Homo-oligomer: A and B are copies of this chain.
């Protein structure tokens, strides 16, 4: 049916799933990596950098902005995008609260 039954799950589980979706496309990862490399602000040279059509890039940028991992400010005619450090850390922590739970668990006495 294609419709995730969110009501069955905890807020934390749904939240992590929503954030993971952002990373679930190579174009969005490429955008993030480009912003990390440029370090300061990159106005939308993503189109030639990545090779997807302008509306497609714009769509990916919007999703990244919606989740709060990047921010964009209008700079005259163009828009200046950069990483949102607050959002970035929040998302990093969200993943690592799951990842770090294995340490307290078994390591080789598994099946």
Interface residues of A (CB under 8 A from B): 4-6, 8-10, 13-14, 16-17, 20-30, 32-33, 36, 39-41, 50-52, 71, 73, 75, 80, 82-85, 88-89, 92, 95-96, 98-99, 101-102, 105-111
Contact = CB atoms under 8 A, between A and B. Distances in A.
A29 B98 contact: yes
Given A41-B111, A85-B110, A13 B29 contact: yes
**Number of copies of this chain that the complex holds:** 2
What 9 A-B pairs are tightest by C-beta distance, nearest first? A20-B23, A9-B26, A13-B26, A20-B24, A92-B99, A21-B24, A82-B110, A17-B26, A13-B29
A27 to B, nearest CB: 7
A8 B51 contact: yes
